[in-house]
Amino acid sequence: MSQKNNEAVRMIPLGGVGQIGKNMMVLEYGDEMLIIDSGVMFPEDDQLGIDLVIPDFDYVKKNKDKIKGIVLTHGHLDHIGALPFLLKEINVPIYGTKLTLGLLEGNLKEHRLMKSSRLKVVNAGSTVQVGQFKVDYIKVNHSLTDTCALAIHTPLGPIVYASDFKFDQTPVDGEVADFHKLAELGHSEPGVLALFSDSTNVERKGYTMSEKVVGETIDDIFYRATNRIIVATFASNIHRIQQILDAAVKYDRKIAITGRSMTNNVEIARRLGYINVPDDMIVDIRDMGHIADDETVIITTGSQGEPMAALTRMARGDHYHINIKNGDTVVISASAIPGNEKFVGQTINQLFERGANVIYEDVSGVHVSGHASQEELKLMLNLTKPKYFVPTHGEARHLHQHAALAEDVGVPKENTYIAELGDVIEFREDKVEKVDKVQAGDILVDGLGIGDVGNIVLRDRKTLSEDGIIIVVVTIDSNGNIQSGPDIITRGFVYIRESEKLIEDATNRVKDALEECEEKGITEWSVLKKTIKNSLNNYIYKQIKRNPMILPIIMQV
Amino acid sequence: MSQKNNEAVRMIPLGGVGQIGKNMMVLEYGDEMLIIDSGVMFPEDDQLGIDLVIPDFDYVKKNKDKIKGIVLTHGHLDHIGALPFLLKEINVPIYGTKLTLGLLEGNLKEHRLMKSSRLKVVNAGSTVQVGQFKVDYIKVNHSLTDTCALAIHTPLGPIVYASDFKFDQTPVDGEVADFHKLAELGHSEPGVLALFSDSTNVERKGYTMSEKVVGETIDDIFYRATNRIIVATFASNIHRIQQILDAAVKYDRKIAITGRSMTNNVEIARRLGYINVPDDMIVDIRDMGHIADDETVIITTGSQGEPMAALTRMARGDHYHINIKNGDTVVISASAIPGNEKFVGQTINQLFERGANVIYEDVSGVHVSGHASQEELKLMLNLTKPKYFVPTHGEARHLHQHAALAEDVGVPKENTYIAELGDVIEFREDKVEKVDKVQAGDILVDGLGIGDVGNIVLRDRKTLSEDGIIIVVVTIDSNGNIQSGPDIITRGFVYIRESEKLIEDATNRVKDALEECEEKGITEWSVLKKTIKNSLNNYIYKQIKRNPMILPIIMQV
């Protein structure tokens, strides 16, 4: 490394701060850059019809040639899901653990990008050189196994990037987090330059419970169940799935897997050795009918009440192979992601209505979070003893709470930086500050369109969704004389059958307004359109207190 | 009462079971009926553009002449909000406590129904005769003061209706629930026929904390705050507001009230004597600028992040009088009602971003629920010792959990009835059973329209909200020859500017398809419309993976 010691290290968040999702960070030192993660976010309620949200890659595109590689922390979609879009812009080596890259492969294959991608496996506990940067992969616990924190070494000291972690003292695979490495970084010289740490659960006191506790609860449920058992969980929660499989084997129940992502992930995890279960315990879901109910378990997707997922279909009564019946035990081994509460609640209600005994997070210990609670966050701060601190993986409320927590632990207030998307955060020996702002934000993906849905389209969708649309069509000749119409067509507004009078009156109002124009000799289309709108807007609102979109269309023959 | 002792008592839920909201129950004995509560429900996310949901009054209309009165338990909108709609169908006396009717008055005035309504004040602890029925008003605790459980006496024994209650052993007004009355009913002869009890919080273990605890937390916040304090809470939570006022008086801070419902409710509660605060402590919000920040408190609406509420406007930065600034303490003294989590979260984020210190439920004890937890529910069961039990005020999951809890307490499984809307539940000396089903359900109110928005309109709104609309207009003459168009207009679909090519190609496809029709001499409009739809459907989906509504319009000149 040829740079002088007093040069600055810069970090630029393109996602994951001020929001939970689409995690992505650019690290700069000298002439080289590194990308950390590149994830998607699921759309907010008001982003109507949007499928995915990805980071704005403008800054990456402008600095294409400086980027030496992409380092991944783990395989959740909010960390790897935007890579298929990013790889259309740049092609650099991608580093990650075996399972991370295993999960990424599936994603890349769907986008036909597998062949052109350069994937490099890194084991937890080892170090990889990317350009001028040495990057340590440090084992941490999370709801997805093979997750790592990263220490990226710079002449000013290492940046520790611990987005998504918890400390589980009794993990399912027996591998605790690499406390020693974190401690070593903490008392190295010149010490950790900056810590970027997970703020998701900063509002929770104490420690996040061990995954083992969930295993015990699941074991207990299996012990008591006298009929069929159906368990829904996140398809990526490999340890959870292993614990369900263990219980199935212990109580001698054959296992069927259903739901596309569940089937895929179990297949990947078994192939890579992250899941162990005897072959003869797994059966095809179509053969479940031949086995006694008390000798079967179904592991399924749908823990979020997603409309098309397997458990949701069962609850609704339209799953191909499984009919929920009296005496079934259904376990939802997950918590509702914010925004999904209503969907999950509806699924639980429907399962109860079909006679199932439903066991879910609110009433039992069938789930633990994958993120660190307050005491673990403090431990991370105390182990790494960073000079600067940047709370990450959180909305504004989480970042502010995390900043306050760091202050409690002894990080001076001025050494904590609460970031916004696109901030160019510069770390120097004597201070951290924002030195610039680059283009960053949410790019909306709708079907195959990337970024072609923006505020105007969304505003229209919102208006349409609330009160529908009234279309007024009128045909005029070149002299401006009406040849046919005005005709009124509505969608999403009222039941026409019950509102014939309203539509008739509205049509007459438009007719009167247009005739007035005709008499006055007004023929400009823009004026005619405005006249049509004005004649309806107030009238409709007065009559029925709704504000549908009014769309005048003039055809000339 | 002339009926024989072995005649049946019937209860018909028209709301409030299998759902939280629009509570309404009809009680029948012999030739007389009584209505208990008549509330609204707020729309679900998928009920796009709907303002309110009210019960279906069909059964009430058909039995108009039998109804002797409406008895109200308390003044929350999910118990009284549908009365303006119900009173258009029937006009019978309405019974309730002073505050309940005070809150109802405001509602009736808005609908110009005050003059024609017959409101009868009943004090908690007293009994009123409605037709043949004696109805005891029994004091219970709730987040709204002056809430009662009802005991409606029938020859088979009293029905105890305790929808919405908790037991607060140290209530703010010093009035504990009337345990003695409940106990007396429990050991009377022939004993309580049936208990209808609140299932909202059946998933919570233990007891609901006392409102006094919130008062202590608020006092502590006032003690520590060095600048302005802004507190948001439910406008109907009179005791909470009183506690905030008490703290303001204690720490000598002038109080401004903002938000329409907050201003209204405080006015009503002060007039009726439920809120006490010296006149000179209250100031107009427009005069707050003249008072030092550390001598002011603002009490506001917006605890649910409602888009137009005062706190939400402050958070967004568009409140007329209040600008959030560094050092403000903002307290959200409420929990997010299911479905509102995202809105509340957004408000908290924005307040933090503006520099406020935000104190909210997740991180402190600034709120307690108004509903009983498990131990209180058990106490209610043990006090009243009902023969039959009907869990109410809950979704299916809550009703099932409450049934299990009742079984634990000793109610035989066959004596518990899990109701659905419209069930005619018949109680006899030896059994409870469903003997009939009447029309019941959700009537959607959108603006001034009641029931004119149904599944087709909602389905259209959903399609429009997700992918927008493509309108294809073509003018033909009487021979079926195209005179102008086809023109394509879209809304909520794509940015036209970025998708000119797509629209151009789509227009050409429609043109080709129509010309083919012309050549074949096809002139039926239905066939032409189908042709237009078919020519676009697959094409658009293939090109951009979206399914907008396609609306062909043919004009004839």
Is the interface score ipTM higher than 0.90?
A: no
Q: Which of A339, A452, A555 is the closest to B487 by Cβ?
A: A555
Share of chain A above pLDDT 70, in %: 98
Instruction: Report the range of poorest mean pLDDT among A371-385, A417-431, A453-467.
Output: A453-467
Cα Dmax for chain B:
88
CB atoms closer than 10 angstroms to residue A230 = 25
Whether B483 sits inside 8 A of A557 (CB atoms) is: yes
Instruction: Report the range of poorest mean pLDDT among A183-197, A230-244, B313-327, B519-533.
Output: B519-533
- Whether the per-residue pLDDT at A1 is higher than 50: the answer is no
Q: Is A213 on the interface with B (CB under 8 A)?
A: no
Q: Could you tell me which chain B residue has the CA closest to the CA of A44?
A: B342
Q: Is A453 on the interface with B (CB under 8 A)?
A: yes
- Range from A337-351, B54-68, B451-465 that averages highest in pLDDT: B54-68
- Under 8 Å between Cβ of B40 and B21: yes
Mind listing the pLDDT tens digit for each residue in B476-509? 887 778 888 888 888 888 876 667 888 888 899 9
Q: Is A473 on the interface with B (CB under 8 A)?
A: yes
Please give the average per-residue pLDDT across B343-352, as a whole number. Answer: 95
- Whether the per-residue pLDDT at A329 is higher than 90: the answer is yes
Whether B49 sits inside 8 A of A397 (CB atoms) is: no
Instruction: Take residue B68 and report the two structure tokens written for it.
Output: 């002797």
Question: Across the strands, what pairs with A101?
Answer: none
Stretch 215-274 of chain B: residues touching chain A, C-beta under 8 Å: none
Mind listing the pLDDT tens digit for each residue in B78-96? 999 999 999 999 999 999 9
Q: Is B549 on the interface with A (CB under 8 A)?
A: yes
- Chain A and chain B share a number of CB contacts under 8 A equal to 202
Name the pLDDT band for B2 (thresholds 50, 70, 90).
very low
Q: Could you tell me which chain A residue has the CA closest to the CA of B354?
A: A396
C-alpha to C-alpha distances, A425 to A4, A11, A74, nearest whole angstrom: 19, 5, 24
- Whether the per-residue pLDDT at B382 is higher than 70: the answer is yes
| Residues sharing a CB contact under 8 Å with residue A438, sequence separation 6 or more, in sequence order | A12, A58, A59, A422, A424
A403 contact residues in B (CB cutoff 8 A) = none
Residue A393 annotated as part of some ligand binding site: yes
Q: Give the gyration radius of chain B's Cα atoms.
A: 29
- Whether the per-residue pLDDT at B475 is higher than 50: the answer is yes
The rounded distance, in Å, linking the Cα atoms of A486 and A553 is 9
Could you say which of B56, B146, B168, B198 is catalytic? B198
Mind listing the pLDDT tens digit for each residue in A24-58? 999 999 999 999 999 999 888 778 888 899 999 99
Please give the average per-residue pLDDT across B57-63, as a whole number. Answer: 96
Tell me what pLDDT residue B164 has. 95
Whether B452 sits inside 8 A of A397 (CB atoms) is: no
Q: Could you tell me which chain B residue has the CA closest to the CA of A354?
A: B396
Residue B51 annotated as part of some ligand binding site: yes
Position of tokens 């209503």?
A342
Angle formed at CA B526 by CA B524 and CA B529, multiple of 5 degrees: 110
Mind listing the pLDDT tens digit for each residue in A293-308? 999 999 999 999 998 9
- Alpha-helical segments (H) within A251-388: 260-271, 310-316, 341-353, 374-384
Phi/psi at B357 (5° precision): -95, 115
- Torsion on CA atoms B162, B166, B170, B176, rounded to nearest 10: 0
Mind listing the pLDDT tens digit for each residue in B269-297? 999 999 999 999 999 999 988 999 999 99
DSSP annotation of A208: P
Q: Which fold has domain A455-556?
A: Ubiquitin-like (UB roll) (3.10.20)
Which one has a higher pLDDT value, A479 or A166? A166
Please give the average per-residue pLDDT across B360-375, as a whole number. Answer: 91
Q: Is B482 on the interface with A (CB under 8 A)?
A: no
| Residue (of B72, B83, B148, B135) closest to B110 by Cα position | B83
Q: What average pLDDT is seen over chain B?
A: 92
Name the pLDDT band for A477 (thresholds 50, 70, 90).
confident
- Whether the per-residue pLDDT at A2 is higher than 70: the answer is no
Tell me what pLDDT residue B545 has. 85
Q: Could you tell me which chain A residue has the CA closest to the CA of B419?
A: A353
Mind listing the pLDDT tens digit for each residue in B514-534? 888 888 888 788 888 888 888
Position of tokens 């033909």?
B476
CA B311 to mean position of chain CA atoms: 20
Name the pLDDT band for A3 (thresholds 50, 70, 90).
very low
pTM: 0.88
Which one has a higher pLDDT value, B189 or A434? A434
Please give the average per-residue pLDDT across B329-333, as a whole number. Answer: 97
| Residue (of B281, B196, B211) closest to B17 by Cα position | B196
CB atoms closer than 10 angstroms to residue B10 = 17
- Whether the per-residue pLDDT at B173 is higher than 60: the answer is yes
The rounded distance, in Å, linking the Cα atoms of B169 and B222 is 25
Whether B469 sits inside 8 A of A489 (CB atoms) is: no
Domain B7-206+369-445 and domain B455-556, same fold? Reply is no
DSSP annotation of B303: T
A321 is catalytic: no
Residue A78 annotated as part of some ligand binding site: yes
Testing the interface with B: which of A51, A201, A374, A452 to mutate, by most B Cβ within 10 A? A452
- Under 8 Å between Cβ of A92 and A26: no
Residue B408 annotated as part of some ligand binding site: no
Could you say which of A198, A423, A442, A467 is catalytic? A198
- For the structural domain made of B7-206+369-445, what CATH number should be given? 3.60.15.10
Mind listing the pLDDT tens digit for each residue in A451-475? 777 778 888 888 888 889 999 998 8
Q: What's the sign of the alpha-carbon dihedral B346, B348, B349, B355?
A: positive
Work out whether strand A67-71 and strand A449-450 pair parallel, antiparallel, or are unpaired: unpaired
Residue A400 annotated as part of some ligand binding site: no
Q: Is A307 on the interface with B (CB under 8 A)?
A: no
Tell me what pLDDT residue B5 has. 46
- Alpha-helical segments (H) within B228-294: 238-250, 260-271
**DSSP result, A453-470:** --HHHHHHHHHHHHH-EE
Q: Which of B396, B400, B464 is the closest to A468 by Cβ?
A: B464
Work out whether strand B24-29 and strand B32-38 pair parallel, antiparallel, or are unpaired: antiparallel
Whether A553 sits inside 8 A of B553 (CB atoms) is: yes
- Whether the per-residue pLDDT at B4 is higher than 80: the answer is no
Report the length, in residues, of chain B. Answer: 557
Q: Is A337 on the interface with B (CB under 8 A)?
A: no
- Whether the per-residue pLDDT at B107 is higher than 80: the answer is yes
Whether B469 sits inside 8 A of A469 (CB atoms) is: yes
Tell me what pLDDT residue A6 has. 57
Q: Could you tell me which chain A residue has the CA closest to the CA of B203?
A: A363
Please give the average per-residue pLDDT across A83-97, as a whole number. Answer: 95
What distance in Å separates residue B276's CA from the closest CA in chain A? 35
In chain B, count of helices (H) and strands (E)? Answer: 15, 25
What distance in Å separates residue B336's CA from the closest CA in chain A? 12
Could you say which of B153, B239, B319, B371 is catalytic? B371
Tell me what pLDDT residue B496 has. 67
A545 contact residues in B (CB cutoff 8 A) = 447-448
C-alpha to C-alpha distances, B286 to B324, B335, B497, nearest whole angstrom: 15, 29, 46
Please give the helix or strand (H or E) that residue A110 lies within, else none. Answer: helix A98-110
| Residue (of B364, B368, B75) closest to B201 by Cα position | B368
Residue extents of the structural domains in chain A: 7-206+369-445, 211-363, 455-556
Whether B484 sits inside 8 A of A475 (CB atoms) is: yes
Tell me what pLDDT residue A496 has. 67
What distance in Å separates residue B541's CA from the closest CA in chain A? 9
B239 is catalytic: no
Residue B367 annotated as part of some ligand binding site: yes
- Alpha-helical segments (H) within B111-197: 179-186
Mind listing the pLDDT tens digit for each residue in A209-238? 999 999 999 999 999 999 999 999 999 999
Tell me what pLDDT residue A4 has. 47
3-state secondary structure of B256: strand
Whether A452 sits inside 8 A of B495 (CB atoms) is: yes
Tell me what pLDDT residue B501 has. 85
Say which CATH class B211-363 falls into.
Answer: alpha beta
Stretch 514-543 of chain A: residues touching chain B, C-beta under 8 Å: 543
Stretch 34-73 of chain B: residues touching chain A, C-beta under 8 Å: 44-45, 48-49
Instruction: Take residue A393 and report the two structure tokens written for it.
Output: 């993986």
Q: Could you tell me which chain B residue has the CA closest to the CA of A547?
A: B447
Whether A396 sits inside 8 A of B349 (CB atoms) is: yes
- Under 8 Å between Cβ of B386 and B190: no
Please give the average per-residue pLDDT across B52-69, as a whole number. Answer: 96
Please give the average per-residue pLDDT across B457-480, as a whole number. Answer: 87
- Torsion on CA atoms B223, B228, B229, B230, rounded to nearest 10: 180
